[in-house]
Amino acid sequence: MTLPVFLAPMEGLTNSIYRRAHARAFPGLAGYYSPFITPNSSKKLTTRELSDILPENNPGQALVPQILTSRAEDFLWCAGKLRSFGYEEVNLNLGCPSGTVVSKGRGAGFLARREELERFLDEIFSQAPCRVSIKTRVGLESAEEFPALLGLFRRYPLSRLIVHPRTRTQFYKGEPRRECFRAALEGSPFPVVYNGDLFCVKDVRAFGEEYPAAAGVMCGRGLIADPGLERRLAGEEPGRERYRAFIDEVLEGYLAVWRDKRAVVAHMKEVWCYMISLFPDSRRHAKAIRKANTVEDYRAAVEALFAEREVVPLDEWSFGRLGG
């Protein structure tokens, strides 16, 4: 049983340059969710936000832009703007665990302000210019908050509910509460997608067998670690060259738009923190990538890695768990 696979939004990692290279090298994902946009009363998207979601920068993807706010007016303005670009669905972020976001009552912080959240949902669902999906955690501090939240969500015509079944307090650690996902799946009038700790083919297959009624899985760290994960699920074995072409395209994409070459290298290193797990016995190469300060050093380190090591997916060797 193969479920549709979506790329999770990951701020700083899955921006348009990354997504574009991904969609070319590994087409097949059911959709891509953008990292969040934070609209405010200025009613202007930043240059960075705009360039990330402009349709011409996102070819070949079913892209859903994500919005982070607790003000209905700002959400509706932003959704209208995104609709004018042609987007038919926007996603509301109710999961971001970051301190500055939560303290303002946004992201996962909104989950604990249920009356305010209800007024917000009333307003956005009565006026939204397009479909609205929600990506949520199961509570701020405790999963016991989830049944009431679920009851609230079920009163609205969500196009999709994506559940990352951890509380804000857990951040990305600890076991996801799959029983919460099951509760969401059973009896919701909208499609429910699972997100959390699905890192390799085995994980996704086992999940699909246990939850065949899920509307899909959303993968974050697992897809950054193995951008070909969905292709493997579809029965392909993407070769080393494909990974090489992909990661080189990401690099070239950044070099074409960022003047600060050091920032480009720093960014590539972040991607490699995850992707290095595709290459067993690569400590030396990982160190060379980590130590690279110039584009030339970086290129040399990546060249050596691909020349000297094989691509072996996580299923087949014991890297350990990415989230651990």
Ligand X SMILES: Cc1cc2nc3c(=O)[nH]c(=O)nc-3n(C[C@H](O)[C@H](O)[C@H](O)COP(=O)(O)O)c2cc1C
Q: Which is nearer to ligand X, 135 or 231 (CB)?
A: 135
Q: Could you say which of 109, 196, 228, 253 contacts ligand X (CB under 6 A)?
A: 196
Q: Which is nearer to ligand X, 280 or 323 (CB)?
A: 323
- Is 15 a binding residue for ligand X by CB under 6 A? The answer is no
**Residues 244, 252 contacting (CB under 8 angstroms):** no
The residue with its CB nearest to ligand X is 220
Q: What angle do CA 28, 320, 36 make, to 5 degrees?
A: 50
- Is 52 a binding residue for ligand X by CB under 6 A? The answer is no
**Residues 113, 139 contacting (CB under 8 angstroms):** no
- Is 165 a binding residue for ligand X by CB under 6 A? The answer is no
- Residue 10: CB minimum distance to ligand X, A: 4
Computed over its alpha carbons, how large is the radius of gyration of the chain?
A: 20
Cα separation, 165 vs 280, in Å, equals: 30
Alpha carbons within 13 angstroms on the beta-carbon side of residue 154 total 13
- Residue 32: CB minimum distance to ligand X, A: 11
Q: Which is nearer to ligand X, 103 or 115 (CB)?
A: 103
Q: Could you say which of 222, 228, 238, 253 contacts ligand X (CB under 6 A)?
A: 222
Q: For the CA atoms of 309, 315, 318, 319, what is the dihedral angle to 10 degrees?
A: 70
- Contact letters (x/-) for ligand X, 140-159, by CB under 6 A? --------------------
Q: Which residue has the tokens 């059911």?
A: 30
Q: Could you say which of 66, 69, 133, 167 contacts ligand X (CB under 6 A)?
A: 66
Q: Which is nearer to ligand X, 222 or 313 (CB)?
A: 222
Counting residues that bind ligand X (by CB under 6 A) gives: 24
- Is 168 a binding residue for ligand X by CB under 6 A? The answer is no
- Is 9 a binding residue for ligand X by CB under 6 A? The answer is yes
- Is 195 a binding residue for ligand X by CB under 6 A? The answer is yes
- Which of the residues 70 through 129 are near ligand X (CB under 6 A)? 93, 95-96
Q: Could you say which of 164, 177, 231, 285 contacts ligand X (CB under 6 A)?
A: 164
Q: Which residues bind ligand X (CB under 6 A)?
A: 8-13, 35-36, 66, 93, 95-96, 135, 164, 172, 195-198, 219-222, 323
